[in-house]
Amino acid sequence: MDGGPVTDGGSATRGPLAGLRVLEVGHILAGPYATMLLADLGAQVTKLEPPGGDLSRQVSDAYFASLNRGKRSIRVDLAAEEGQARLHELVRGADALLVNLKPSAVRRYGLTYEALKPWNDRIVCVALTGWGMDAGDAPAFDYVVQAATGIASLTGDPDGPPQLPGYSSADNSAGLTAALGLLAQVVAGRGGQVEVSLRDVMLSQLNYHASAWLNEGKTPRRLGGAHAYYAPAQLFPTADGHLSLFITHDTFWHAFATEAGIEGFTTMSERASHRAELTAAVTKALSTDTATSWESRLRPLHVPASAVHTLPEALADAPDAIVQAGDYRLVGTPIHVTGHEPVYGPPPGLGEHGDFT
Q: What is the DSSP string of 312-326?
A: HHHHHT-GGGEEEET
The 10 Å Cβ neighbour count of residue 313 is 11
Cα 78 to Cα 14: distance, rounded to the nearest angstrom: 32
Output the CA torsion sign for 160, 161, 165, 167.
negative
The stretch 162-183 carries a mean pLDDT of 96
The pLDDT assigned to 14 comes to 79
pLDDT greater than 80 at residue 357: no
Q: Which residues pair with 262 in a beta bridge?
A: none
pLDDT greater than 80 at residue 86: yes
The CATH class, in words, for 8-205+326-356 is alpha beta
CB-based contact 239:288 (threshold 8 Å): yes
The pLDDT assigned to 4 comes to 32
Cα 40 to Cα 17: distance, rounded to the nearest angstrom: 9
Kindly state the DSSP code that residue 241 receives in the 8-state scheme.
S
The pLDDT assigned to 262 comes to 98
Please report which confidence band the pLDDT of residue 224 belongs to, taking 50, 70 and 90 as the band edges: confident
Q: Which residues pair with 307 in a beta bridge?
A: 243
pLDDT greater than 80 at residue 109: yes
The pLDDT assigned to 6 comes to 35
pLDDT greater than 80 at residue 242: yes
pLDDT tens digit sequence for 116-147: 999 999 999 999 999 999 999 999 999 999 99
Q: Which residues pair with 150 in a beta bridge?
A: none
Pairing mode, if any, of strands 192-197 and 124-129?
Answer: parallel
Q: Which amino acid is at 135?
A: A
Kindly state the DSSP code that residue 283 receives in the 8-state scheme.
H
The pLDDT assigned to 239 comes to 98
Cα 207 to Cα 226: distance, rounded to the nearest angstrom: 16
pLDDT tens digit sequence for 23-64: 999 999 999 999 999 999 999 999 999 999 999 999 999 999
Please report which confidence band the pLDDT of residue 269 belongs to, taking 50, 70 and 90 as the band edges: very high
**Domain locations in the chain?**
8-205+326-356, 233-237+242-307
The pLDDT assigned to 275 comes to 95
Please report which confidence band the pLDDT of residue 13 belongs to, taking 50, 70 and 90 as the band edges: low
Q: Which residues pair with 127 in a beta bridge?
A: 99, 195
The stretch 258-275 carries a mean pLDDT of 96
The stretch 261-290 carries a mean pLDDT of 97
pLDDT greater than 60 at residue 218: yes
CB-based contact 33:289 (threshold 8 Å): no
pTM attached to this predicted model: 0.91
Cα 163 to Cα 84: distance, rounded to the nearest angstrom: 43
Percent of the chain whose predicted confidence (pLDDT) is above 90: 91
pLDDT greater than 90 at residue 8: no
pLDDT greater than 80 at residue 196: yes
CB-based contact 199:145 (threshold 8 Å): yes
The pLDDT assigned to 12 comes to 43
